Structure 1
């Protein structure tokens, strides 16, 4: 068995190597065997496994997998921007071919993973979205959310990070079966005490395999994961974009809201939600 180090990319043999992970920590459990803490490369999943269950994958396979996701994300971004132009939707800077301008919804994105947050920030910029990013661990999100809402006053709130079903747990309707769902539920409840209107404050919450029903019941507009599947790191961004650039007079269907996500209907679900985009007139001469 090879020796593993923090930062190594591995797969779990017991799961057929279905997900690529990065080793984030190695914890001494007893004198016989360590426990390795794992984070999904592209999916918002955290897990742990003994070294005996891990193996190093072929790097060509890892790169090929990342390329597939990268191509799909880039294709999504190009299509979204093209669709906006074809529909005459202005971004926050506006276009210069007429006297109208536009304002999309402001986003507060709270994430427990720095790498994923940085990836999301890059995509928000590509999509011309106004976002305030905050790096906060899942367990601390319920404690800090009220202060951040008062500070930022967003139109759209994202609460995400890592989650997953705990090993040996098969009760899908108990919060005790999940790593982080309890914190997402608590944070959503606090956010809804700040603003109870699902139209005024739009909330996305959850990560891989999260307790979807409990998060929705707590007051989220959108959540993961209806089928307890893995979700892609950028799924929250694509949900935000759809809401932020849909007009305030239109109510998004669930199918429309998730149409640009990587995971789709098995990973993301929610409620009909009104858009946040407002058109303005006239445009300033100095813009």
Structure 2
């Protein structure tokens, strides 16, 4: 087995598909560093615990997840359609007269420790019409860069994610030192809050698989993972951010409304009541006719 091979762990009955991203030697044994292919988890395993996943099995699992992703996307689009209908009614105050207006969804700055996941997420943001700036950054470097990035991009929503994992051998659930990158995410949230303290002026999602949810919320995140320390899907942050981006700044978001269309749900994601960030204006001109005086 080599770097970038797709593998499963025999000791876990190959429940998650991983990609080998690095190989190291410990006590004369080969150890693989693994990134989840569909879930935001990082792990390591000895080579004798790994098995190659054949392309047919990979394709089978991929189709099942794609079906779930499409289902979540369809539910989200239904939500957006209902939101737009309500907003149109409020803008026109129910008058039958047609009114031209425009909407400005919230801008997103997405920091991701995994370039592959970042590409998946930015593709989905663009697919559903959310302006996004994606930055690949190792989890340990995020806290040192986030302040400058906020100044430069001036986002309405900040996503801080990548890979994480809880290790029982390092401590219990309450011990943040037992987590791979939760401390890095927490520090990044704190640095972001030094720049923008108000929870409704910069909405923050932070965390990855099995992350220390409570610490992230206490540090200043509006939404985070993972309350039950389970794995979250690679695209879950996008579904949360999309709901916020397309909800008016006049409205508060019910936490359950945000979580119900994600792939992981309330066991993997949670948060606090937060205002939306979408703004509506008028008039909207599709074209401008220049008139010249004779």
Alpha-carbon distance between aligned partners in 1 of 2:103 and 2:174, rounded to the nearest angstrom = 42
How far residue 30 of structure 1 moved from its aligned partner, in angstroms, is 2.9
| 3-state SS, counterpart of residue 170 of structure 2 | coil
Residue 18 in 1 paired to residue 30 in 2? no
Post-superposition Cα deviations, 1:220-254, rounded to whole Å, max 9, x if no partner, equal 00000000000011011111000000111211111
Q: Which residue of 2 aligns with 1:271?
A: 272
Residue 6 in 1 paired to residue 3 in 2? yes
Residue 78 in 1 paired to residue 79 in 2? no
How far residue 137 of structure 1 moved from its aligned partner, in angstroms, is 0.4
Post-superposition Cα deviations, 1:188-231, rounded to whole Å, max 9, x if no partner, equal 01111111111111000000000010011100000000000000
| 3-state SS, counterpart of residue 23 of structure 1 | strand
Q: How many residues align?
A: 278
Q: Which residue of 1 aligns with 2:252?
A: 251
How far residue 24 of structure 1 moved from its aligned partner, in angstroms, is 0.9
Q: Which residue of 2 aligns with 1:262?
A: 263
Alpha-carbon distance between aligned partners in 2 of 1:137 and 1:221, rounded to the nearest angstrom = 22
How far residue 115 of structure 1 moved from its aligned partner, in angstroms, is 0.3
Q: Which residue of 2 aligns with 1:94?
A: none
Post-superposition Cα deviations, 1:238-283, rounded to whole Å, max 9, x if no partner, equal 1100000011121111101112211111100010111111111111
Root-mean-square deviation (CA), in Å?
Answer: 1.8
Structure 1 unmatched runs, 5+: 91-96
How far residue 40 of structure 1 moved from its aligned partner, in angstroms, is 0.2
Alpha-carbon distance between aligned partners in 2 of 1:116 and 1:36, rounded to the nearest angstrom = 20
| 3-state SS, counterpart of residue 236 of structure 1 | helix
Alpha-carbon distance between aligned partners in 1 of 2:204 and 2:218, rounded to the nearest angstrom = 12
TM-score, L = length of structure 2: 0.90
Alpha-carbon distance between aligned partners in 2 of 1:215 and 1:187, rounded to the nearest angstrom = 10
Structure 2 unmatched runs, 5+: 88-97, 289-294
Post-superposition Cα deviations, 1:78-125, rounded to whole Å, max 9, x if no partner, equal 3433443344369xxxxxx74011111110000010000000011001
Alpha-carbon distance between aligned partners in 1 of 2:58 and 2:170, rounded to the nearest angstrom = 29
Aligned 8 A contact 2:223 2:272 in 1: yes
Q: Which residue of 1 aligns with 2:60?
A: 64
